Amino acid sequence: MAPPAGGARRVVTEHTPPQTFIRHLAWGPMVFLAGMTCEHHQTLRAQYEDILPRARGLLRENNCDWANVVAVSMFLHRDEEPEALLAGLAQAAPIPLDNASIELVEGYSRPGKLIEIEITARR
């Protein structure tokens, strides 16, 4: 991304207690939510149903909602079906999927994680 006009500074919001990844980054009119995963549930559906409310909460922290989302990047375990993910997401939240991307991956930091979702929004 090119720097926003006017020399806007980057504002990083950390987790409490601090973790190895940020909560979100605000830069000019844009908000970037760090990739979110779930290790407490076993199914893909349960995992994205855990992630989406947390994502909405982070969007709200930045005066945004699903209508402000301009991009969604998903990293999906290769054993899962992308079509099932998109259909399930469309039912679970009004998340715009027109600019969604899905990349199939071998695995994550811990066994059992099936998806990571990153969200970019415009304030």
At 54-69, the pLDDT tens digits run 999 999 999 999 999 9
Q: How far apart are CA 73 and CA 105, in angstroms?
A: 13
Distance of CA 72 to the CA centre of its chain: 6
Each domain of the chain, given as residue ranges in start order, spans 10-122
Which tens digits make up the pLDDT trace of 82-118?
999 999 999 999 999 988 999 999 977 778 899 999 9
CATH number of 10-122: 3.30.1330.40
Note the pTM of the prediction, 2 decimals.
0.87
Using CB atoms within 10 Å of the CB of residue 62, give its burial: 0 to 12 exposed, 13 to 18 middle, 19+ buried.
buried
Instruction: Spell out the residues 6+ positions from residue 8 whose beta carbon is closer than 8 angstroms to its own.
Output: 27, 28
Using CB atoms within 10 Å of the CB of residue 114, give its burial: 0 to 12 exposed, 13 to 18 middle, 19+ buried.
buried
